[in-house]
Amino acid sequence: AQSVTQPDIHITVSEGASLELRCNYSYGATPYLFWYVQSPGQGLQLLLKYFSGDTLVQGIKGFEAEFKRSQSSFNLRKPSVHWSDAAEYFCAVDGGGNKLVFGAGTILRVKS
């Protein structure tokens, strides 16, 4: 069965610092991978997705993610974090049947 692991429950970074959120997945074939962001009391917004091709994908709000098959990872990065990036981030895999399997989420705190 497909699964997604986000090892970090909380991460705190200073405003302007770089960010990397980790995501590891378990799936036999090439997965479809997603990162979503959820601000407090809000719904889920798609940041970026990977299906095939270039393993470095660009998303909205200055985020990018890199698919590494050898490490079964799809880490999310941002070179300079803004206070408005504070939110919860979810990595997800669609392993078939149009069913998204989510990780447990990583809460990002930004300190000024």
Partner 1 sequence: DTAVSQTPKYLVTQMGNDKSIKCEQNLGHDTMYWYKQDSKKFLKIMFSYNNKELIINETVPNRFSPKSPDKAHLNLHINSLELGDSAVYFCASSRKDRPYGYTFGSGTRLTVV
> Quick one: 86 or 100, whose CB is closer to partner 1?
100
Of 27, 36, 63, 74, the residue at the interface with partner 1 (CB under 8 A) is: 36
| CB-based contacts of 102, cutoff 8 Å, min separation 6 | 4, 90, 91, 92
Q: Are 71 and 59 in contact (CB under 8 A)?
A: no
Distance (Å, rounded) from C-alpha 55 to C-alpha 74? 9
- Could you tell me how many residues of this chain bind partner 1 (CB under 8 A)? 22
Residue 30 is classified by DSSP as: P
For residue 34, state whether it binds partner 1 (rule: CB under 8 A): yes
For residue 28, state whether it binds partner 1 (rule: CB under 8 A): no
Distance (Å, rounded) from C-alpha 98 to C-alpha 75? 22
Distance (Å, rounded) from C-alpha 106 to C-alpha 47? 14
> Quick one: 15 or 102, whose CB is closer to partner 1?
102
For residue 44, state whether it binds partner 1 (rule: CB under 8 A): yes
For residue 99, state whether it binds partner 1 (rule: CB under 8 A): yes
Of 76, 105, 108, 110, the residue at the interface with partner 1 (CB under 8 A) is: 105
Of 65, 88, 108, 110, the residue at the interface with partner 1 (CB under 8 A) is: 88
